[in-house]
Structure 1
Amino acid sequence: MSVYKPKKSPFYQYDFWLGCHRFHGPTKCANRKDAEKFETVERERAAILVKAMKRSAVSLLIDDVADRLWNESAQHDAAPDATETNLARLIDYFGKAKSLTDIDHTEARKMVAWRRGHHVTRRGKLTKEEKDALPLITNSTVNRSATKVLQRLFTFAKTEGAQFEHEPNWTELLLPEPQERVRELHDDEAAAFDAAMRADYEPFFEFVGTSGMRQKECVTLRWSEVNFGTRQIVRIGKGGRRVVFPITDTIRDILFPLQGQHPQFVFTYVAVYGNKRLGRVRGQRYPLTINGTKTAWQTMRAKAGVKDFRFHDYRHDFGTKLLRDSGNLKLVQKAMNHRDIKSTLRYAHVLDEDVASAVEAVAKSRKKSRTTVRKVG
């Protein structure tokens, strides 16, 4: 056995070669017999790793796999910054030298438990007490930012030829998520938002509520995608699909006056404070950002006193009202850029209201007919 105890350490180290690969490290065992058992386990793991590396001909260290994934496709994600953050978080947790072959179901489950203990983050300086008071992240955030990211690394490695004998059971690792609710904005709530809204953000929020587009799609809208001549907004939406949205009279009234505020981006804000580090000059206009709109939204919602209404609920409000007015699920599907009609069916409760009204109308009609017959008889 190739275990030894360094002069200045009470613990044994292991050091051996398998094929052309060297494996070494601490055993954390003070007893030689225990250290040899530890090394036996490491040899078994090393054999699996070498075998997988021969098949894939590339490194399966998590840092290397993430680097190749990023260069090949992840950098082109709809939200590359979020992807980069999620990958870096996993690498930091497992360690750069961790091989995917060493991440089995138990290891992955520990990672999920670790991620579930994280709190929601907020911008600005917070005290420790304020940070601890923030709620824990949701199951959907754990799934999206950790479990599915790790699964993506495994899937990518398999496209390169890697095979895993102990791949985690992803179905069991995914945490249950509540069915997405549909929240409609009431008239009094809309009035409260209007009263609490910053003037420079007003066109943006009006567009969000009128178009039904996703937050990122609205924030990053460019003038090159807006064509007043054809009365269309043409852009690439979620999933890389081409999305065409009509410029109605209402949409035109929102967008047309914004021309000239910025050469590239449609929606801007006025800097309230100067910031040398960011190159911001007080009173000047700059393109909106995702984080900036989140902060503005949180401030506006708190000032308006509206409860249980998220930014994404603007989209639900749009879909609900559109289906109520049109009664056409396919039309709503196209307007909201849903790939699957199942996503649109969440608004079907609106049609249930129409069915109830129609049933009641039939009942009243029959009652009226019976009354007429009695009078005639």
Structure 2
Amino acid sequence: MPVYKPASSPYYYSEFQLQGHRVHKSTKAKTKKEAELIERQWKAQIEEDVKRARITGNAPITLDVAAGHFWSDKGQYHVNSDTTWTDIQRLISHLGKDKRLDQLTDADVAALVTRRRSETRKGMKVTKDGDPVPTLSNATVNRSCTILLKAIFNHAMTLGNYLPKPPQWKKHMLKEPKERVRELDTHEAVALDRSVRDDYALWFEFARMTGLRRQETLIRWSDVNCFAKRITTKGKQGKDVHIPITPVVAAILKRCEGHHPIYVFTYICRRNLLGSSQVKGLRYPITPEGAKTQWRRLRQRAGVKNFRFHDIRHDVGTKLLRQTGNLKIVQRALNHSDIKTTTKYAHVHDHEVAEALTKLQNATTMPTTEQKASA
């Protein structure tokens, strides 16, 4: 049937059936001539898709379908799978579930990044104190937009979908500040250890001794293999993370026995909250949000400034490298897939440079006249 304009809409609609495809939707055009042109373009696209499918055996794949495959095969196994799911839903909402990956352009990605850059954490405009909430960091925008969309796109290609020309992902990556490597000073370490809540102490000691990411520290007893002397849990992007059970780690695990049948690290409920099923005095597993909250409070009590939980990992990596001088050992200890990531720990402090220069200068200094005479 020809394009038509419903009484309830300012736009012309197209309705037709071609090559087994039924189309019935708005052209978003306000003139009949423009609507007919759009309809012809749609029909030409269907003819091209059918022809391509006969050659390649694959029909065009939409973002909604591609994201579903990615979630089933990879996304649901990410350590922060809830975040991955939220980010995927945001992509679909912004680009549209019917957006075809073979028609994804650089302009689409650029618009997506621009929109994301203007957003704030949890959509808040001001803090409780009335201060403006800053927009998202470049790192957050990269990971929730460009990197995720690229991963969905590449996964669709591995499944055999015909995607002739991907966007230029690199040019859409926002510049991120170089990650700093921060160590704990001795007095800071003592202050943290003294300030940690008793029921969180074993968890915090485990984090300090292993250098695991916060999410990776929340292990289950099923992750612990005492016979192999190894703990295996899930890390970034669902990859296995292996931690050797050293005597110190074994002692920590021993003290956690009997606290919970499934999770290793727990806390004691301190008060009955209205609407909560938790009972004061009983133990419950430490959750990701609970770990985040306790770390923030611990840092405040200890008075340690400019130190993130992830910096514990930097602290372990840096000191391990200084002790062993072996990058491969640090790479294995921190479960880095690429040793380039580990090289950031190969930094030196000013006092270390001074000590090295002093040793060199002492070894190469020319003898004085008095030294020559006494010789």
Q: Does the alignment pair 1:72 with 2:73?
A: yes
Deviation, structure 1 residue 318: 0.9
Instruction: Provide the residue aligned with 2:260 in structure 1.
Output: 262
Letter in 2 for 1:15: E
CA distance in 2, matches of 1:352, 1:344: 21
CA distance in 2, matches of 1:349, 1:357: 15
The aligned length equals 371
Instruction: Provide the residue aligned with 1:313 in structure 2.
Output: 311
CA distance in 1, matches of 2:211, 2:47: 54
CA distance in 2, matches of 1:105, 1:82: 25
Give the root-mean-square deviation of aligned CA atoms.
Answer: 3.1
Instruction: Provide the residue aligned with 1:234 in structure 2.
Output: 231
Q: 1:149-168 deviations in whole A, cap 9, x for unaligned?
A: 21222222223332234532
Instruction: Provide the residue aligned with 2:120 in structure 1.
Output: 119
CA contact (8 A) 1:223 1:266 kept: no
With over 3 angstroms needed to count, the CA separation of the structure-2 counterparts of 1:237 and 1:27, relative to structure 1, is closer
Among candidates 313, 330, 334, match of residue 336 of structure 1:
334
Instruction: Provide the residue aligned with 1:243 in structure 2.
Output: 242
With over 3 angstroms needed to count, the CA separation of the structure-2 counterparts of 1:47 and 1:117, relative to structure 1, is farther
The alignment partner of 2:29 has SS state of coil
CA contact (8 A) 1:338 1:344 kept: yes
Point out the more displaced range, 293-302 or 24-33. Answer: 24-33
Q: 1:78-130 deviations in whole A, cap 9, x for unaligned?
A: 433232222222122223233223422111211111222222249xxx88554
Among candidates 266, 289, 292, match of residue 291 of structure 1:
289
Instruction: Provide the residue aligned with 1:10 in structure 2.
Output: 10
CA contact (8 A) 2:13 2:25 kept: yes
The alignment partner of 1:70 has SS state of helix
Q: Percent identity, please.
A: 37
CA contact (8 A) 2:260 2:266 kept: yes
Deviation, structure 1 residue 233: 3.0
Deviation, structure 1 residue 77: 3.2
Mark the runs of 5 or more structure 2 residues left unpaired by the alignment.
Answer: none
CA contact (8 A) 1:53 1:60 kept: no
Instruction: Provide the residue aligned with 1:218 in structure 2.
Output: 217
With over 3 angstroms needed to count, the CA separation of the structure-2 counterparts of 1:58 and 1:81, relative to structure 1, is farther
With over 3 angstroms needed to count, the CA separation of the structure-2 counterparts of 1:362 and 1:132, relative to structure 1, is closer
Q: 1:189-212 deviations in whole A, cap 9, x for unaligned?
A: 223333442221121112111211
Instruction: Provide the residue aligned with 1:325 in structure 2.
Output: 323
Instruction: Provide the residue aligned with 1:20 in structure 2.
Output: 20
CA contact (8 A) 1:223 1:264 kept: yes
Deviation, structure 1 residue 285: 0.8
CA distance in 2, matches of 1:183, 1:276: 41
Point out the more displaced range, 6-15 or 130-139. Answer: 130-139
Mark the runs of 5 or more structure 1 residues left unpaired by the alignment.
Answer: none
CA distance in 2, matches of 1:127, 1:171: 30
Deviation, structure 1 residue 50: 4.6
For normalisation by structure 2, the TM-score amounts to 0.86
CA distance in 2, matches of 1:177, 1:326: 30
The alignment partner of 1:349 has SS state of coil
Instruction: Provide the residue aligned with 1:271 in structure 2.
Output: 269
Deviation, structure 1 residue 276: 7.4
Point out the more displaced range, 128-137 or 262-271. Answer: 128-137
Instruction: Provide the residue aligned with 2:157 in structure 1.
Output: 158
With over 3 angstroms needed to count, the CA separation of the structure-2 counterparts of 1:103 and 1:19, relative to structure 1, is same
